[in-house]
Chains A and B, each alone.
Chain A
Amino acid sequence: MTASHPRMPRLRRRSFLGGLGLGIGALCLPSLLPRGARAEPPGPVKRLLMLMTEHGTVYQNWRMRPGNLPEDTDWETPLGALGESDFSEILRPLHGYRDRLLVLDGVGMATGHMTGINEHEEGHATCLTGTLAQPVDGGVALAAGPSIDQIVAGAVAEPGQIASLQISHGSWAYSYDPSGKALPWITEPWQLYQKLFPNGPVDPNAPPDDLKTIRDRQGSVVSLVREQYHALAPKLSGEDKLKVEQHRDLLHSLGQQLENLANIVCEAPPEPGGGPPWEDPQFYFHRAQVFTTLATLALSCDMTRVAMLAFSGLRNEHVSAPPGDLHNDYAHQASTDPTAMQVMTNYHKIHAEDFKNILAALDAVPSESGTLLDDTLVVWANELCTGEHSMNQWPVVMAGGTHHFKTGRYVRWAQNNIIKGTWGDEPQGPPHNRLLVSIARAMGADVDQVGETSVTLKGDSQLPTTGELDRLT
């Protein structure tokens, strides 16, 4: 970890976890250290945790322009020198982690301008895949290739690990499989808990019973089932065959996962309780905290190396909004109407607090080379760029991953690429595909493109979208 980082005192983590009503705070912290049966590979383990939120941002209150730095040139500024009040209103909650942050201002989602469908669909499909959204008649658009979390999972997950976690408060997908199909997600704290700790807290002194024998033999059940899929596949063709083969291969992974999870030493906390009811504003925060804590636990115990958290569901009472629909009445005019701007600024500030909580949880887990935050690349991004459905100046904050990226910086790109969009010309910085390539390569995936390889500029020339994004390291 960097020297100037204000290390969170251990007590802070205790109080953070203890506030969950989970009882995780009662755990001994050393049990959170990775101590799986597997030998650690040389060098720090590569991990990726993504936080995705909705409705773009309020760009005016997200961006930073210390010293009135210009709009029309590329520049960067160190974050360490900035005081809390120098931070933008939305990013201010992250000031304590400024040396661990890499704020990216000006990257564009050019591929989101290409299909002319509803931008929420377009954004979800393209933001983490870099592909063109594929409209579904009567349904939500799909992508044309895998999302970055799946690309990274393919590179870093070891046999027996949960390849990746998809956790969401609801809404639409961000994770897509190699064919661009949307991956389902976990929405309930107890589902996530059961996935990580299928046997719950185990009493080592309990005598073996039939249920334990049955659980111990799940591998043989899965093996028998897999043979059924294997025998069936040659009798099918086309998409049907692919489905069955995919099912078969996933069973293979599940068999390994069952075996491996049983061997991982990761103290199971008590199962999270029901939490507040849906009507209670605390409903959101309870779930956000449980998701954050359990995802951190899964990463720290090396059950998985990739986690996707999709947070949504904030309501008027959370953001001091007058009566009205957050989406239609506020997000859609967040750049122009003063009330809407403040409401949506409040909205994104809460997600900044969510991001801070994630960083705090990771940073409270010691690792061999610092803390889990140093070994984990944490990325906060959005389905859109602004509430008005813009695809320009994607608000991205990266943190941690200090072995890969040069943090403690705010990096700005001028909007010099004029994209030929479906609805008109769109000035942008570098295409976001290149950021996805950088993330993939930092995580050890040997790729030079994510999604499209070029986009069309005004005048019909092509802008390549391959290769790493410069200025990150």
Chain B
Amino acid sequence: MMGRRKARAWMLGGAVVLGCSGGGGGNDDATAATEGTGVATDAATTAPTTSEGTGEDPTEGEPADCEGPLDPGPAPLRRLTHSQYNNTVRDLFPGVTLPLQTIAVDPKVNGFENNADVQTPSALLIEQYQRAALEVTKAAWASPEAFLPCAADGGGEPQQCGHTFLLDLGARAFRRPLTADEEAAFLGFFDQQLAETNFTVALQLTVQAVLQSPAFLYFLEFGGEPIEGGEAVALTGHELAARLSYFLWDSMPDAQLLAAATAGDLDTVEGLAAEALRMLDDGKARGALVNFHRQWFDFDGVALINPDPATYPTYTPELRTAMRAELDRFVESTLFDGPGTFASLLTSTATDVEATLAALYGVDAPPPGEWAPVSLDPGERSGILTRAGFLARTAHAVHPSPVKRGVFVLARLLCVPPAPPPANVNTNPPDEGEPGQPKTNRERYAKHTAQADCASCHVTIDGVGFGFENYDALGRWRDLDNGEPVDASGALIGTDVDGSFDGAIELSQKLATSTQAHDCVVSQVYRYALGRGTTAADLCSLGDLRAQFAEASGDVHALLLAVVTSDAFRTRKGAP
């Protein structure tokens, strides 16, 4: 087992390699969209609030002694997310088209849908798994020749064919070979059903059982070798392969990864990193990394925008769909075909547009129904915070919301979520248009900072949010608001890049250089990778990863590699 220092030393080398390969520019290959994100039954994104979090970050502050015994932090039992379920059954039956299955989305924590603490089983969920298993096998058996090692009716040796198929499928579904008990249970069940029905029925029923089993739905980790000097145990190769593939692919390990696990290749940092690098080159990594950003930046919220038609007569559902799709494309092309850094997500002017978005951004439109790469006006756009989808999601029906925009930046990009407003506070800005009343959106919101009990938080929130006043509720650029010149000056307070700025472009550029923002990215990726919140026990791990991310100049792939080779990712505390 490699120690922390050695792993980090390896990463320094790895980052250099990535730094060289991350360049490029064209996004000709930016057509793949996220796959298999499932159908949400949880619509928590409609939550009627503009605030989140408690204003506390348990991972702020100085770490304890990081040279002491290894503490990888908690490792609560995790379950497949709705998107992982759909991606996994897709990969279990290659060559077959499966309909997306409805699996309840677990409650979001920091935007992420994979937090183990709230992954509680419920009657609805258990029933959805049962129904999904039925639907998956039904759809798969429309073309059994794609995956069966024998004729659809079992051929001359139906029992043998069934056993062969089930042992192979079981090992892929459970991400490890079946135990002797499992083998006896599933093959015995198949034999019994075969005796009572027929090959097709017996096999489908047994596969349905596999798809509802704990070894499939849950990430069972018991660990292997104890780590010297601490409470932790190293994960087994197969357990690590599962963590790796669901982090980097949002789906099951492929044959090569399982073979690497069996061969013990994942027991070394070098072997683990080699597999991770291979996986990042696979198309599935694109969808998975976009899926991470979908949750982090709440792309789903775009689907719920409801602009006022009188104010925005050009708005159409098609534009909304395009705004949403652009965010996927932007993240993918920036991180896989572009510079690949967190900073570039905040500064890039490259994007993909179709006709409705081209009109919104004021660039040449591609032919109807097509998408094309364009370069946006650098005087108006800089990265994801200036893309229409983000701006429209953080607006009300008529006016943009400096509060939503400010809270998002503080909570999700700087990891300093503001506290919610106290009870019975009138959070409504005053009406416009009346004598003596404010004329611009900014003036309306300025009331927040004029009231002493609001000012303590809103000086900070609106200080960020006002920087976006050049964008209306659709995300269109504006120089005038209600006929008055836009004032988009703002200020960052309580950050490592404090000070005034003018507009979202300067704000984005400041964030792109902020160590605090980069440290926050590490926290978000870490939470997502481990499926849990961060605790004080994670300070050492986070400190290591933050240093590596900085040394890799904010290269996102380097950060992913640093995470998978970290102790926290490779080990867990003793018995579950």
Cα distance A399–B214 when bound, in Å? 43
Query: Is A220 an interface position by the 8 A CB rule?
Result: yes
Question: Which A residues touch B39, using CB under 8 A?
Answer: 188
Question: Which of chain B's residues 188-236 have a Cβ closer than 8 Å to chain A?
Answer: 189, 193, 197-198, 200-201, 204-205, 208-209, 212-215, 218, 220, 222
Cα distance A381–B123 when bound, in Å? 24
Question: Which A residues touch B423, using CB under 8 A?
Answer: 113, 116, 119, 389, 421-423
| A324-B41 in contact given A138-B417, A195-B127, A316-B308 (Cβ < 8 Å) | no
Query: Is B392 an interface position by the 8 A CB rule?
Result: no
Docked-complex contact A139 and B107, CB < 8 angstroms: yes
Query: Is B378 an interface position by the 8 A CB rule?
Result: no
In the complex, per-residue mask of A289-305: 1 if CB is within 8 Å of any chain B CB, else 0: 00000000000000000
Question: Which A residues touch B372, using CB under 8 A?
Answer: none
Docked-complex contact B120 and A221, CB < 8 angstroms: no
Shortest CB-to-CB span from A197 to chain B, Å, is: 12
Question: Which A residues touch B209, using CB under 8 A?
Answer: 221, 224-225, 228
Question: Which B residues touch A328, using CB under 8 A?
Answer: 50, 396, 401, 427-428
Docked-complex contact A187 and B41, CB < 8 angstroms: yes
Shortest CB-to-CB span from B304 to chain A, Å, is: 9
In the complex, per-residue mask of A210-243: 1 if CB is within 8 Å of any chain B CB, else 0: 1101110110111011011101100111011001
Shortest CB-to-CB span from A127 to chain B, Å, is: 14
Docked-complex contact A253 and B123, CB < 8 angstroms: yes
Docked-complex contact B48 and A54, CB < 8 angstroms: yes
Interface residues on A, range: 35 or more
Cα distance A217–B110 when bound, in Å? 41
Question: Which B residues touch A198, using CB under 8 A?
Answer: 131
Question: Which B residues touch A217, using CB under 8 A?
Answer: 193, 197, 201, 205
Shortest CB-to-CB span from B158 to chain A, Å, is: 14
Question: Which A residues touch B108, using CB under 8 A?
Answer: 139-140
Question: Which A residues touch B553, using CB under 8 A?
Answer: none
Question: Which A residues touch B508, using CB under 8 A?
Answer: none
Query: Is A454 an interface position by the 8 A CB rule?
Result: no
Shortest CB-to-CB span from B575 to chain A, Å, is: 7
Docked-complex contact A210 and B130, CB < 8 angstroms: no
Query: Is A411 an interface position by the 8 A CB rule?
Result: no
Question: Which B residues touch A336, using CB under 8 A?
Answer: 426
Docked-complex contact B131 and A232, CB < 8 angstroms: no
Q: Which of A4-12, A38-46, A94-102, A171-179 contacts B (4 or more CB under 8 A)?
A: A171-179
Shortest CB-to-CB span from A218 to chain B, Å, is: 7
Shortest CB-to-CB span from B457 to chain A, Å, is: 13
Cα distance A179–B120 when bound, in Å? 10
Cα distance A256–B295 when bound, in Å? 37
| A187-B43 in contact given A214-B134, A222-B130 (Cβ < 8 Å) | yes
Q: Which of B52-60, B331-339, B383-391 contacts A (4 or more CB under 8 A)?
A: B52-60
Cα distance A183–B120 when bound, in Å? 8
Docked-complex contact A218 and B130, CB < 8 angstroms: yes
| A333-B122 in contact given A137-B53, A228-B215, A323-B310 (Cβ < 8 Å) | no
Question: Which B residues touch A194, using CB under 8 A?
Answer: 131
The residue on B at minimum CB distance from A190 is B102
Contact of A236 among B54, B77, B105 (CB under 8 A): B77
Question: Which of chain B's residues 104-135 have a Cβ closer than 8 Å to chain A?
Answer: 104-111, 115, 117-127, 130-131, 133-134
Docked-complex contact A171 and B48, CB < 8 angstroms: yes
Shortest CB-to-CB span from B250 to chain A, Å, is: 20
Question: Which A residues touch B50, using CB under 8 A?
Answer: 328
Question: Which of chain A's residues 91-120 have a Cβ closer than 8 Å to chain B?
Answer: 113, 116-120
Shortest CB-to-CB span from B113 to chain A, Å, is: 11
Query: Is A181 an interface position by the 8 A CB rule?
Result: yes
Question: Which A residues touch B41, using CB under 8 A?
Answer: 184-188, 191
Docked-complex contact B426 and A323, CB < 8 angstroms: no
Query: Is A460 an interface position by the 8 A CB rule?
Result: no
Cα distance A153–B473 when bound, in Å? 45
Docked-complex contact A121 and B426, CB < 8 angstroms: no
Question: Which A residues touch B422, using CB under 8 A?
Answer: 116, 423
Question: Which A residues touch B185, using CB under 8 A?
Answer: 224, 227-228
Question: Which A residues touch B58, using CB under 8 A?
Answer: 137
Cα distance A194–B130 when bound, in Å? 12
Query: Is B478 an interface position by the 8 A CB rule?
Result: no
Question: Which of chain A's residues 250-276 have a Cβ closer than 8 Å to chain B?
Answer: 250-251, 253-254, 257-258
Docked-complex contact B197 and A213, CB < 8 angstroms: yes
The residue on B at minimum CB distance from A390 is B424
Query: Is B26 an interface position by the 8 A CB rule?
Result: no
Question: Which of chain B's residues 396-429 have a Cβ closer than 8 Å to chain A?
Answer: 396-398, 401, 411, 417, 420-424, 426-429
Query: Is B482 an interface position by the 8 A CB rule?
Result: no
Question: Which A residues touch B76, using CB under 8 A?
Answer: 239-240
Cα distance A190–B200 when bound, in Å? 28
Cα distance A426–B126 when bound, in Å? 42
Query: Is A434 an interface position by the 8 A CB rule?
Result: no
Docked-complex contact A177 and B120, CB < 8 angstroms: yes
Cα distance A97–B171 when bound, in Å? 61
The residue on A at minimum CB distance from B123 is A250
* Residue among B111, B127, B131, B186 with the highest chain A CB neighbour number at 10 A: B127
Cα distance A250–B121 when bound, in Å? 8
Question: Which A residues touch B44, using CB under 8 A?
Answer: 140, 170-172
Shortest CB-to-CB span from B15 to chain A, Å, is: 29
Contact of B427 among A188, A332, A423 (CB under 8 A): A332
Query: Is A446 an interface position by the 8 A CB rule?
Result: no
Cα distance A67–B422 when bound, in Å? 37
Query: Is B533 an interface position by the 8 A CB rule?
Result: yes
Question: Which A residues touch B222, using CB under 8 A?
Answer: 235
Cα distance A228–B411 when bound, in Å? 41
Docked-complex contact A231 and B181, CB < 8 angstroms: yes
Contact of B533 among A121, A137, A186, A240 (CB under 8 A): A137
Query: Is B483 an interface position by the 8 A CB rule?
Result: no
Question: Which B residues touch A257, using CB under 8 A?
Answer: 127
Question: Which A residues touch B20, using CB under 8 A?
Answer: none
| 14 new A-B contacts at CB < 8 Å, known A187-B42, A250-B126 | A137-B109, A185-B42, A185-B124, A228-B182, A228-B213, A246-B121, A247-B121, A313-B46, A324-B397, A327-B48, A328-B396, A329-B396, A329-B428, A423-B423
11 contacts between A and B (CB under 8 A): A136-B109, A137-B56, A138-B411, A140-B107, A186-B124, A210-B204, A228-B214, A240-B77, A243-B218, A250-B122, A421-B423
Residues of A within 8 A of B (CB): 54-55, 113, 116-121, 135-140, 142, 162-164, 166, 168-173, 177, 179, 181-188, 191, 194-195, 198, 210-211, 213-215, 217-218, 220-222, 224-225, 227-229, 231-232, 235-237, 239-240, 243-244, 246-247, 250-251, 253-254, 257-258, 277-279, 312-313, 315-316, 323-325, 327-329, 331-333, 336-337, 340, 388-390, 421-423
Top 3 A-B pairs, shortest CB-CB distance: A170-B43, A138-B110, A325-B396
